[in-house]
Structure 1
Amino acid sequence: MLPSKHKQSKCVTRRIRFNASAISALKEKAAPAVPNPSRVVTVTSFIWKCATAASRAKGGSVKPSVLSLAVNLRNRCSPPLPEYTIGNNVWGAVAFSLPHSELELHSVVAGLTDGIAKVNSEFVEEIKGEEGLLKLAESIKQFREMHSNAGADYYAATSVCNGGLYDADFGWGKPIWVSIGNGSADLPMLTNIIFLMDTSKHG
C-alpha cells in the first residue's frame, strides 16, 4: 500500500543489528503505553521515530509522517487460513505522526499498536467478495491521494521474523546470513523501507 508519489531512487541501505538486551530495553521504554509490545512493533516504532526526527531536523520544517506495517491476514480470517496459503494475504497497518506531535517511543508504539488492532477479523469480513474488493480499492486510492498530496514522509515496514529463513536448505546446507537483494538500473529501490529479519546463530 504505497502512495502514488512514493520515491524510487538511489538510496543507501543500512544493516542495524538489535541484540536481545537492546530490544528488552526498548520494550521497557514503551511499556507505559503498551504492556509487553512485540519486538517487531517495538523495533519498527523505534526506527520510524528516529527517521522522522532526522527528517524534520534535516528538512527544517515539520511534515506529517506515515508508517505502514505489513500485517498477515491469514490468521485474521474466520476460520483462519492455513499458514502456508499461497498469495499476498497482507494488509498495511497504518500509523500517523502529525506535525508537532510527540515523538516519544511509548506514544509511537501505541499508535502502531492501534493501527494493527484495526486490521482484525471484522476488517477481513468487510473486504470479502466483489463489494469488498471495490471497498479495498477505494481505501487504497484514498490513502495514496491523501498522504501524497499532504507532502507527508512515508515509510513502509515489513517483517519476516520467525519466518524460518535460516532453516531453508536447498541441498547445499542452511544459510549463515540472509539478506535482501539489491536494486538495479532496471529495478530502482524504493526509499524509506524498513525490513526486519532475524539474525542467525552466527550473528
Structure 2
Amino acid sequence: MAVKIVESHTVSPSSGEHTLLPLLYFDLIWLDFVLTESFYVYPLKCSESRFLETIVVNLIHSLSLTLKHFLPLSSKIIFPLSSAAMPVSRYTNGDSVSLTIATSDDDFSYVASNRPKAADGLHHLVPQMPAAVYSSDVIKFSALAIQLTLFPNQGICIGFTHHHSICDAITFSAFVHTWASINKSNVIKYLPFYGRDSVQDSGKLTIAQWNQMKANRPTVSPTLPLPSDKVRATFHLTDSQIDKLKSWVAIKKPSIGRPSSFVVACAYLWSCLAKSEVDNDDDDETQYLCSPVNCRGRLDPPLPENYFGNCSIQLIAALSHGTLKGNDGFVAAAEAVADAVKIAVKSTRVSEFYENRSEIFSKLSGKRVVWVAGSSKIDHCGADYGWGRAVKYECVHTDFNGAVHLCKGRQGGIDMGFSMPKPNMFSFTSIFNKYLFINSNL
C-alpha cells in the first residue's frame, strides 16, 4: 500500500492547566504492551484540495477543542528510572498530539472490505509515535498520535496509535466519538471522570504492580517487524445469527439460561478455531480463551462508566481441544465462557486477580490461548464526523499478538477481526460459514 505524507502538524488542547494523573494498577500492566493501532474508514468523494483546505482545517480545530477535555491524551507519560517514584501522566502547557496528513492511491474498497487482505499493508494507515525523550531519571513518551489519510474521491481513513497504559478501549472510543461530535455539530456528548481516590484497593495493588513492572522498560515505539506472512479479515455475526446461537445453547444446555451475545460470539469463535486447526491432534490438551472484562461498575465502590483510564480484568475459560472441536464444542464453549464471566464480575475478584496476576499468566505461557481484545458493546462505527458512520473499523496491532478484536457491527451484530497465515484463514472461513449454515436451520 502506497501512502504519501503531505503534511505534519502538532495539535495542542485549546486550553488546559498543568495536570498530573497517577497511573494505577489497571494502567501499569500495559506499560510494556505493544502500542495500540487502529483506524476508521469513511467513504467520501473528496478532492485533495478540499481535504487539505477544509476538512483537515476543521478536524484540527475540533481536535484541539476535544483534547482540552482529554488532557492525558496530549500529555507525556513519565516512566521513572528511580525506584522512589511512580509512573504518571503529566500535562504541561504546550504538550501536543502529533497529526500526520497523508494521501493514498490504493483501492479504497479493498481497505473497507471484510475479505482477507495482506495484513502488513494496513499498517501504513496508522501513524508512528513520536520518539521518546530519555534523561538520567525518566523516560517521557507520548500517549497518542493520529494520521488522516485521503483516498482521493473515494474516502478518508483516520488512524490512531495510542499507548494502552493511558486508557482502555472504552475510554478511547469515548474520545473518538467526542471528537467526531464536536467536529460535526460542536456538541460534547461525553466528559471523562478522572477521580482516582476511590478506586478499589488502588494503594496496595498499584505499589505491588509497580514493584513487578518497574524493571521492564515501557513500550515507546513499534519494535516488531510487520506481519508479512499473514492476512487479515473480519467475520460478522448478525443479530439474527446471534439469537439463533443463543437459542441453540438454551435448548442444549438449559442450566446456562439464555447466554449473552458476548458469550455466544466468543464460544462460536473459539470452537471454530479449534475445529479449523490442522496441526493439533492432542485432544487432551487444555486450551484457553481470555478476554478483558470492564469492571467499572463492579468495583466497591463502583466507578462511573466515564472513568478515564483502564479498568478491566481478564476472564479465563478453559476446555480440552477434543471437547472444543467436537459436535457439541460450541455449547461446551458457551458454558465455559459463561462460567468465566460469572467469576470475573465479582467485586472480590479484582483484588484476587491482581494479587496473583503474574502467577495466573505464567501458567498460560506456551499454551494455546485465544486472546480477545475490545468489546462487543463498543460501537466504533458510530463515530460520525459529519460524513456519516464509518463503514469499517480495524484494530491492526493484534497482528503482533494474535488477538481477535470484537466490536459492535456497523448495522448491529458483532464483528470479529484478526489475522493469521493464509491457509489457516481459509480453513477457518470454511468452518465458520459451515456451522453458521447448520445453525441457520434451527
What is the aligned partner in structure 2 of residue 113 from structure 1?
338
Report 1:129-148 matches (<5 A).
Answer: 136=354, 139-148=356-365
In 1, Cα distance between the equivalents of 2:335 and 2:343? 13
In 1, Cα distance between the equivalents of 2:322 and 2:378? 37
In 1, Cα distance between the equivalents of 2:264 and 2:411? 22
- For structure 1, the 5+ residue unaligned runs are 3-7, 128-134
Deviates more, 1:62-71 or 1:193-202: 193-202
Residue 168 (str. 1) matches residue 378 (str. 2)? no
RMSD: 2.8
Aligned residues: 181
Residue 78 (str. 1) matches residue 300 (str. 2)? yes
1:66 to 284, 288, 291: 288
What is the aligned partner in structure 2 of residue 189 from structure 1?
400
1:176–1:202 Cα contact (<8 Å) kept: no
In 1, Cα distance between the equivalents of 2:279 and 2:256? 30
What is the aligned partner in structure 2 of residue 131 from structure 1?
none
In 2, Cα distance between the equivalents of 1:41 and 1:13? 23
Deviates more, 1:104-113 or 1:155-164: 155-164
Deviation at 1:164, TM superposition (A): 3.7
Residue 18 (str. 1) matches residue 237 (str. 2)? yes
1:65–1:153 Cα contact (<8 Å) kept: yes
In 2, Cα distance between the equivalents of 1:159 and 1:35? 25
1:166–1:178 Cα contact (<8 Å) kept: yes
What is the aligned partner in structure 2 of residue 201 from structure 1?
411
Identity %: 18
- For structure 2, the 5+ residue unaligned runs are 1-28, 31-224, 414-442
1:70–1:91 Cα contact (<8 Å) kept: yes
Deviation at 1:50, TM superposition (A): 1.2
> Residue 53 and residue 121 in structure 1: after superposition, are their counterparts in 2 closer, same or farther (change >3 A)?
same
Deviation at 1:76, TM superposition (A): 0.7
In 1, Cα distance between the equivalents of 2:401 and 2:361? 15
1:178 to 377, 392, 412: 392
> Residue 190 and residue 197 in structure 1: after superposition, are their counterparts in 2 closer, same or farther (change >3 A)?
same
What is the aligned partner in structure 2 of residue 122 from structure 1?
348
In 2, Cα distance between the equivalents of 1:188 and 1:110? 28
Q: Which amino acid aligns with 2:368?
A: D
In 1, Cα distance between the equivalents of 2:298 and 2:412? 34
What is the aligned partner in structure 1 of residue 160 from structure 2?
none
Greater length-normalized contact order (CA 8 Å, ≥ 6 residues apart) = 1
TM-score by length of 2: 0.37
In 1, Cα distance between the equivalents of 2:301 and 2:406? 28
1:92 to 304, 314, 318: 314
2:379–2:407 Cα contact (<8 Å) kept: no
Partner deviation per Cα, 1:68-104 (whole Å, 9 max, x = no partner): 0110010111232010111110111000013544652
- Classify the secondary structure of the residue corresponding to 2:289: strand
Higher strand share: 2
In 1, Cα distance between the equivalents of 2:412 and 2:336? 34
In 1, Cα distance between the equivalents of 2:412 and 2:320? 40
> Residue 48 and residue 86 in structure 1: after superposition, are their counterparts in 2 closer, same or farther (change >3 A)?
same
Deviates more, 1:92-101 or 1:76-85: 92-101
Deviation at 1:159, TM superposition (A): 3.7
1:40–1:159 Cα contact (<8 Å) kept: no
Q: Which amino acid aligns with 2:401?
A: L
> Residue 166 and residue 117 in structure 1: after superposition, are their counterparts in 2 closer, same or farther (change >3 A)?
same
Q: Which amino acid aligns with 1:58?
A: D
Larger C-alpha radius of gyration, 1 or 2?
2
1:166–1:174 Cα contact (<8 Å) kept: no
> Residue 46 and residue 188 in structure 1: after superposition, are their counterparts in 2 closer, same or farther (change >3 A)?
closer
In 1, Cα distance between the equivalents of 2:390 and 2:370? 29
